[in-house]
Amino acid sequence: MFTFILGVTSNWTKIPSPLFKKAVIVLIDALRDDFVFGSKGKQFMPYTTQLVEKGTCHSFIAEAKPPTVTMPRIKALMTGSIPGFIDVIMNLNSPALLEDNLIWQAKTAGKRIIFYGDDTWVKLFPKHFVEYDGTTSFFVSDYTEVDDNVTRHLDNVLKREDWDILILHYLGLDHIGHLTGPNSPLVGPKLYEMDNILKKIHTSLLSKEEESSLPNLLIVCGDHGMSETGSHGGSSEEEVQTPLLFISSAFEKRNGPLKQPELVQQTDLAATLAIGLGLPISRNNVGNIILSIIEGKPMREQLRFLHLNGFQLSRLLQENMPTYEKDPGFEHFKIAEKSHGNWIKLYLEGNNSEVLLNLGKKVLKQYLEALKILSSSLSKQVAQYDMYSMTVGTVIVLEVLLLLLLSMPKALSSRAEFEVPLSPPLFSLLFYLMCLMLCAVHVIVCTSAESLCYFCSISWLMAVGVMMLISALMCVILSAFGKMLENPKLPAKNPAVSNSSWSELDVLMLAGTVAHAVSLGASSFVEEEHQTWYFLINTLCLALCQEICRHYFLVKECDLQLSTAVKQNFEDIEETAQCRSVDIPSCDSKLGKVTSSGEFLKGSEKWMGLASPWIILICCRLLRSLNQTGVQWAHRPDFGHWLTSSEHKAVLSLLAAISLVMIFILVQRRCSLVSKIAMALGLLGVYSYRAAIGNVVFPWQQDSKDISKGIIEARFVYVFVLGIIFTGTKDLLKSQVISADCKTKSIGLWEVYSGLVLLAALLFRPHNLPVLVFCLLIQMIMTRCIWKPLKFDAAQITIMHYWFGQAFFYFQGNSNSIASVDISAGFVGLDNYVEIPAIFLTGFATYAGPLLWAIHLLCYLSSEVSRNSAAMGHGCFCYALICSVPVTVYIILVTGLRYHLFIWSVFSPKLLYEGVRVFITAAVCMFFTAMDQNPSQKIHD
């Protein structure tokens, strides 16, 4: 008996013969489950619906794992594994897939594969297809040509016999989603087109079947869904659930009532398809065979397929988990294997009764259970973290933050010097000792760990550089710390710190910064970060309101009383020193009588000042209802959606036109005449660009004309953007080189700023143009009525700018999920995908809010230089500090939370956003320092 089982075992791992002859995979990008199974499917996909309801078809809802972006999804479909998060970035430029995958297996088995569609496939599988035609997926505003490029090959291919697998990847639906969302009128016709294609393929496959012995298989699937805004990348239900249809004459016709499609994993396709085509299951697959597909086969074969799947999964478990034998899935599998052996014995004995069938069903159940547990424990098996490299990165970030914090008293002093004492620590003994120690640690860690760390994979010199950087930073921190200890009284001398009494505003700013940084540890607060910022800027406005009240009502009375009191008697000086405790009524009567025209002007300024926080609050409330972001309340209707729906095109056009006019009015006041004209023409160009691509309409053009890509109009605007920025830079250079007056410089800065505003106006979707208007409006009100009269210091102003910048990031409709990145901004005025401009434009459009506020800070501080010569230095330092605090805290938090359930869906995308923000902050600070060079030199001279 023993030998008998052994004999069977050798047979078991052999690959069984295929179940299907030909397979056609139709992948429709961003096909959401309700596009097939919902009301849209019934309306626009009649053939498919009929197949699902009555035909020879098995339908499922396949669940994709986030990030729901095309390239990782293709990987998941073809390898059955769960790709890492870094693939989101690779999505833009994918290298060839080296992992074991279905396509490679099919090619080695001598299958001929033809592919038409998204060229990501061609990049992933470069030499695998006998015939292919890749269409680029990056030009999102095109949704007909991408699909026609696929369909035009279809008639020819379907006639031919020289292929085994045909893969079609249709991109049009995804592009429609990105452009106009899932409820757009364009979706219906596209689904109908897809339905016709499916019908064509299916009938052709059926007609060929008669001669051949094996049936053909048609698979329809989506790589990911589509959120209510039309994008994808996140983990909401709409983005994750995609339909998966297996259509073949091998299946029995469905009779009886239609059931709700079963939920499966997207990774299950790879294993199922491998079995169906008689190929080995790929090595890293974590999916299970979908049982319904092999249901028609005899029990013996079914069990064999399941065993193959289980065998592969348990081997993968063995490789990944040292304690695999204790895993419940593995134990289940061993039990199932044993009962399988018993069943085979009975079977071979010729026992063919009811008992055998029931026993077989029991074994089947055992296998399914084992597979389920195995694949779930494999999916849970998180990626191997390279703890060593993570620690190194965290240490560097922490050291930089510590350095910034330590040099705070010095950098905020009146001279605003931020000098890193580099040379003495570099030559100290400590530095060399640190280097030596780190080298030793590196060698020990890298030789003891079995997996390679990141530092071993980069070049040798770089690794040494990193180590030197760490130790140098350490030494600099130590020396700075030592200096602080030497003269601890130094901070007290500084005007910025010496104001020992903290106002409510300072307390709020500190508390807000700390609270925000800490809140990043909770996944909900990361998802709903916009709420934090809206809350904070609201409170900031109220605190400002209180500050203004105090300024206009109390301080003035106090001055007045001071002067009168001094006149009256000198003894009372002590009492008047506590001038804040003065009550109003006695002074009010005195004040009221001394009215003049000048007083009246003051009065209007006062009322403007008092009203301005409320105006800003109302603006923020309006902006908040424009774009609903986040996760929990993202489904709530918002004004932006209302505007973008096609019925409200006229309103949107009007709003866009008004916004553009407002932008012009708000920006032009400080520009030179040439820039004013350029600005006006540029804004006109923006409108005509939006009209050309069909977002808005001109009043004279009633019928919707055919939509173009608007390349000429967009480039027309680019010319003006570059022109304005160029004039601005020229002025800046002039002021820098000839050291002309400050006025040239601030005009130059403002021109650069207005150029960026124009660029943002071009890249923003038309319904977001009010965000830009309100941004400019709030900046103007703040400058005129709050900052200038109340004479805040540079640090406070910087923090306010930073907070508003953050809030505007979310007012734009951004969130901490990858899904909200508007990649269509990267294609404005470009014919096809050009990497560098596309990345630059997308990045600018996404971070326009924080960037515009940062540049405005620069403009404001440069105009303040006359009052406080160190303003620019303070501003730059505070900006760097305030930006680096949340990043540092977040990096530490994420390192600690790396086994959190939401690490890939919530924390990692946020980390990506923070990373990009660090780059932008660095760029802004560099610009700051470049602008700051000149006056500081002047002071020194």
Partner 1 sequence: MKDTEIKRLLSAHIVSVLSISLTTIVPPLFLENFSVLGTHLIWLCICSICVTTVNIILYIILKPNPSSKRISFAHKVTKFLKCCVFFFISCILFHGIIVLYGAPLIESVLETFLFAVLLSTFTTLHCLCMLGPNIQAWIRVFSKNGAMSIWDNSLQITTMCSIVGAWLGAFPIPLDWDRPWQIWPISCSLGATFGYVAGLIIAPLWIYWNRKQLTYKSR
Nearer to Zn ion (CB atom), residue 29 or residue 528: 29
Among 18, 20, 25, 29, binds Zn ion (CB under 5 A): 29
DSSP 779-842: HHHIIIIIIHHHT--HHHHHHHHHHHHHHHHHHTT--SSGGG--GGGGGTT-SS--HHHHHHHH
Q: Which stretch binds partner 1 (CB under 8 A): 91-99, 186-194, 368-376, 612-620?
A: 612-620
Q: Which stretch binds partner 1 (CB under 8 A): 73-81, 103-111, 562-570, 613-621?
A: 613-621
Binding partner selected for residue 145 from Zn ion, partner 1, none, CB under the kind-specific 5 to 8 Å limit: none
Q: Which residue type sits at 759?
A: L
Nearer to partner 1 (CB atom), residue 408 or residue 587: 587
| Secondary structure (3-state) at 244 | strand
Q: What are the beta bridge partners of residue 6? A: none
Among 618, 733, 901, 923, binds partner 1 (CB under 8 A): 618
273 binds partner 1 (CB under 8 A): no
Q: How many residues bind Zn ion (CB under 5 A)?
A: 4
CA gap 594, 609 in Å, rounded: 21
550 binds partner 1 (CB under 8 A): yes
Q: Which residues contact 181 (CB under 8 A, 6 or more apart)?
A: 228, 229, 230, 641, 644
* Residues between 266 and 305 with contacts to Zn ion, criterion CB under 5 A: none
What are the φ and ψ backbone dihedral angles of 472, each rounded to 5 degrees? -65, -45
Binding partner selected for residue 223 from Zn ion, partner 1, none, CB under the kind-specific 5 to 8 Å limit: Zn ion
Q: How far is the CB of 857 from partner 1 (least distance, A)?
A: 25
Q: Quick one: 500 exposed, middle or buried, by C-beta within 10 A (0-12, 13-18, 19+)?
A: exposed
Among 462, 584, 651, 939, binds partner 1 (CB under 8 A): 584
Nearer to partner 1 (CB atom), residue 539 or residue 729: 539
Q: How far is the CB of 499 from partner 1 (least distance, A)?
A: 15
Residue nearest to Zn ion (CB): 70
Q: How far is the CB of 554 from partner 1 (least distance, A)?
A: 5
Q: Which stretch binds partner 1 (CB under 8 A): 106-114, 418-426, 532-540, 841-849?
A: 532-540
CA gap 567, 561 in Å, rounded: 10
- Cβ proximity of 548 and 790 under 8 Å: yes
Q: How far is the CB of 621 from partner 1 (least distance, A)?
A: 5
Is the torsion defined by CA of 584, 590, 595, 601 positive or negative? negative
* Both structure tokens of 4: 């008998």
CA gap 237, 234 in Å, rounded: 9
Q: How far is the CB of 446 from partner 1 (least distance, A)?
A: 41
Nearer to partner 1 (CB atom), residue 108 or residue 586: 586
* Both structure tokens of 323: 């304690």
Tell me, residue by residue from 858 to 897, as one string, x for binding to partner 1 by CB under 8 A and - for no binding: ----------------------------------------
CA gap 513, 413 in Å, rounded: 22
Q: How far is CA 138 from the centre of its chain?
A: 17
* Residues between 118 and 177 with contacts to Zn ion, criterion CB under 5 A: 174
528 binds Zn ion (CB under 5 A): no
569 binds partner 1 (CB under 8 A): no
Within a 10 A sphere around the Cβ of 843, how many other Cβ atoms? 17
Binding partner selected for residue 833 from partner 1, Zn ion, none, CB under the kind-specific 5 to 8 Å limit: none
553 binds partner 1 (CB under 8 A): yes
DSSP 683-747: HHHHHHHHHHTTSS--TT--SPPPP---HHHHHHHHHHHHHHHHHHHHHHHHHHHS---HHHHHH
Nearer to partner 1 (CB atom), residue 514 or residue 584: 584
Binding partner selected for residue 531 from Zn ion, partner 1, none, CB under the kind-specific 5 to 8 Å limit: partner 1
Q: Where are the alpha helices (DSSP H) in 578-710?
A: 584-593, 597-624, 639-644, 649-668, 673-692
Binding partner selected for residue 70 from Zn ion, partner 1, none, CB under the kind-specific 5 to 8 Å limit: Zn ion
* Residues between 54 and 93 with contacts to Zn ion, criterion CB under 5 A: 70
Nearer to partner 1 (CB atom), residue 551 or residue 788: 551
Q: Which stretch binds partner 1 (CB under 8 A): 224-232, 252-260, 547-555, 918-926?
A: 547-555
Long-range contacts of 547-553 (CB under 8 A, 24+ apart): 547/503, 547/504, 547/505, 547/790, 548/609, 548/610, 548/612, 548/613, 548/786, 548/790, 549/610, 551/609, 551/789, 551/790, 552/606, 552/609, 552/610, 553/584
Q: Which residues contact 630 (CB under 8 A, 6 or more apart)?
A: 527, 528, 529, 530, 531, 815
b/e sequence 857-888, b meaning 16+ C-beta within 10 Å: bbbbbbbbbeebbbbbbbbbbbbbbbbbbbbb
813: left (phi over 0), alpha (psi -120 to 50) or beta: left
Long-range contacts of 49-53 (CB under 8 A, 24+ apart): 51/202, 51/245, 51/247, 52/245, 52/258, 53/254, 53/258
641 binds partner 1 (CB under 8 A): no
CA angle 495, 511, 627 (to 5 degrees): 120
632 binds partner 1 (CB under 8 A): yes
- Report the C-alpha dihedral over residues 99, 100, 102, 106, rounded to 10 degrees: 120
Binding partner selected for residue 715 from Zn ion, partner 1, none, CB under the kind-specific 5 to 8 Å limit: none
Q: How far is the CB of 617 from partner 1 (least distance, A)?
A: 5
* Residues between 728 and 767 with contacts to partner 1, criterion CB under 8 A: none
CA gap 440, 408 in Å, rounded: 34
* Both structure tokens of 316: 């993968």
Binding partner selected for residue 513 from Zn ion, partner 1, none, CB under the kind-specific 5 to 8 Å limit: none
Q: Which stretch binds Zn ion (CB under 5 A): 54-62, 217-225, 424-432, 433-441?
A: 217-225
Q: How far is the CB of 888 from partner 1 (least distance, A)?
A: 23
Binding partner selected for residue 339 from Zn ion, partner 1, none, CB under the kind-specific 5 to 8 Å limit: none
Nearer to partner 1 (CB atom), residue 3 or residue 581: 581
Among 299, 446, 478, 542, binds partner 1 (CB under 8 A): 542
Q: Quick one: 821 exposed, middle or buried, by C-beta within 10 A (0-12, 13-18, 19+)?
A: buried
Q: How far is the CB of 85 from Zn ion (least distance, A)?
A: 16
Among 580, 590, 635, 867, binds partner 1 (CB under 8 A): 580
Q: How far is the CB of 522 from partner 1 (least distance, A)?
A: 7
Q: How many residues bind partner 1 (CB under 8 A)?
A: 31
Q: Which of 781, 838, 736 is nearest to 140 (CA)?
A: 838
94 binds Zn ion (CB under 5 A): no
Within a 10 A sphere around the Cβ of 681, how many other Cβ atoms? 16
Q: How far is the CB of 178 from Zn ion (least distance, A)?
A: 6
Binding partner selected for residue 522 from Zn ion, partner 1, none, CB under the kind-specific 5 to 8 Å limit: partner 1
Nearer to partner 1 (CB atom), residue 49 or residue 531: 531
Nearer to Zn ion (CB atom), residue 223 or residue 822: 223
Q: Which stretch binds partner 1 (CB under 8 A): 117-125, 184-192, 296-304, 518-526?
A: 518-526
524 binds partner 1 (CB under 8 A): yes
Is the torsion defined by CA of 344, 345, 347, 348 positive or negative? positive
Q: Which stretch binds partner 1 (CB under 8 A): 133-141, 177-185, 529-537, 677-685?
A: 529-537
| Chain residues that interact with partner 1, rule: CB under 8 A | 522-525, 527-528, 531-532, 534-535, 538-539, 542, 550, 553-554, 578, 580-581, 583-585, 588, 617-618, 620-621, 624-625, 630, 632
| Chain residues that interact with Zn ion, rule: CB under 5 A | 29, 70, 174, 223
